[in-house]
Chains A and B, each alone.
Chain A
Amino acid sequence: MYIANYFIAQTSTVRSVRLRFDLLASVRIDNDPIGRCFLPLIRHIDVSFDPSMARRYDASTTTFSPEGRLHQVEYAIEAINNAGTCVGILAKDGIVMASERRITSGLLAPAKTSEKTYFLAKHAACNVAGLTADANILIDQARLRAGRYQYQYQEPIPMEQLVEYVCNYKQYFTQRGGLRPFGVAFLFAGYDEHYGFQLYQSDPSGNYSGWKATVIGANNQAGKTILKSDYQKQPEGEEKMADDDDESGSIPDVQGALRLAVKVLNKTMDGSGTTAAEKMELFTMALDDNGQVVTKILTKTETQAVISAVESESASSGES
């Protein structure tokens, strides 16, 4: 057994533990009686056997940890869990996105049009949770991509292609050295001819997935719990046979989805007092009679109407 000092790495071998010390020397402590005497000593000196030793592998995105994790990416994802909540719900006939407007000061000038919703193209919009400055860069990229596609093909870009482009851009920063990942999670809402209305969520790692309903930002777990039970309410009692109109009969329409979204936000914004209309931004996307995509950010009055509807609904059904 050798002795050295400084800095420890952990392997999961059974027979011995190799301890590396700042690349200057290394220790091999065998799993024999004498060797094992030193283990508690080392543990005392430094982190060895628990995940917080991640900090040795977390300084750079281009390094995997021994457990096979990219800590910088995970920290970026953590940053989003402190950001304002965003809910996205795929309705029967459209999409609804609701977000929490974090008003940090009464002196702040009110938003001119929208604060949390960004338009990427005529048929695509997104909500942001995380570092707004980072988000702006990505939104620029998305708009450029959508615009270039429109220029080349004279058609709107299919939603998934747009999302994948942004995500590939994000992934670059998790693999090339010297740059940190974007601390942004998006909810993308869009419509295309091929697959209709679609809702996507993406995170700093560059992963994305399509959702029927999802929540990002602070308290998203609580939000998701509500969505899991309330999104596709099972019909009560008799009518369990397959309907011939549509099997998605229990999926809410846009108005129903708005109420559900507000309900979720109420829950996630729980600690911050009563939910006022200024604190929420509601967005809807649907098709008009000509089959054109029409988007809308609800005015304060309209938002208040939805909030009131939710309050009376919960009061009448006796929910807390």
Chain B
Amino acid sequence: MSDTVLGIQYDGGVLIACDQSNARSILLYQTNIDKIKELTSHTMMGVSGPNCDLVNFTEYIEKNLNLYELENDGTKLSTKAQANFCRNTLATALRKGPYQVDVLLGGYDTVKKQAELYFMDHLAALQKVSYNAQGYAAYFCLSIMDRDYIKGLGYDDALEIMNKCIKALHKRFLLSQPNFIIKIVDKDGVRVVSVGADPADT
């Protein structure tokens, strides 16, 4: 709940922002972690939850998606198929040993030429959305997104909404999350827009 993940799908791409704090209970391990994992060339997933599940889950998905491409002569899975694969993994594990991750999966479908954002929670619910947020941040940010989001908006507007949300969190959220990393996925793939603290700094 305490990790923040924000996602907005705009015309031609998806923006996902995550806080960079790695903490458990009252202990703050680091403030420069990158919680947005790149799954394939055109998909990324912002994850909230314990670090172990974050890594386990995303690596499992990432490697299986890669295996699919290797087995099938370079055919890529569509964003929808990838999201459903993730959901299936969560659902299967749910009544055995659940992954305690809530994610926002954003991708650009190179065949259909459109950007898609999927909301997925630890109970294996899956929903395609235009914008959403995970964690306590949702209480602060959803209303901002509800008000400012219009269909067909562009990259600049989407980024502006994102920054508004982050500002609101900085001002009103009890937990201090000074650094945010924002990534974008569009027809050119996944790349970093801005970063609060360099994850490579160890």
Contacts and interface: CB of A to CB of B under 8 A. Distances in A.
B75 A152 contact: no
Interface string B108-149: 000100000000000000000000000000000000000000
Given A158-B72, A161-B72, A193-B111, A152 B88 contact: yes
Contact of B81 (A154, A160, A161): A154
Interface string B78-101: 101100110010000000000000
A154 B72 contact: no
A300 to B, nearest CB: 40
A153 B111 contact: no
A160 B74 CA distance: 13
B68 to A, nearest CB: 9
A194 B153 CA distance: 29
Contact of A155 (B72, B73, B80, B88): B80
B80 A154 contact: yes
A194 B77 CA distance: 10
A60 to B, nearest CB: 31
A158 B75 CA distance: 9
Contacts of B84: 152-155
Contacts of B88: 151-152
B85 A153 contact: yes
B81 A155 contact: yes
B78 A155 contact: yes
A7 to B, nearest CB: 45
Interface in A148-195: 151-155, 158, 160-161, 193-194
B81 A153 contact: yes
Contacts of B111: 193-194
A223 B73 CA distance: 32
Nearest to B88: A152
A194 B72 CA distance: 11
A204 to B, nearest CB: 24
Nearest to B78: A155
A27 to B, nearest CB: 50
A161 B71 CA distance: 9
Contacts of A152: 84-85, 88
Contacts of A194: 75, 111
A190 to B, nearest CB: 14
B58 to A, nearest CB: 18
Nearest to B76: A194
Most-contacted residue by chain B among A153, A160, A193 (CB, 10 A): A153
A298 B52 CA distance: 58
Contacts of A151: 88
Contacts of A153: 77, 80-81, 84-85
B94 to A, nearest CB: 15
Contacts of A161: 72
Contacts of A158: 72, 75
Interface in A115-165: 151-155, 158, 160-161
Contacts of B85: 152-153
Interface string A184-211: 0000000001100000000000000000
Nearest to B71: A161
Nearest to A158: B75
Interface of A: 151-155, 158, 160-161, 193-194
Interface of B: 72-73, 75, 77-78, 80-81, 84-85, 88, 111
* 10 smallest beta-carbon distances between A and B, as pairs: A153-B81, A154-B84, A155-B81, A152-B88, A153-B84, A194-B75, A153-B85, A152-B85, A161-B72, A158-B75
10 contacts: A151-B88, A152-B85, A153-B77, A153-B81, A153-B84, A155-B77, A158-B75, A160-B73, A193-B111, A194-B111
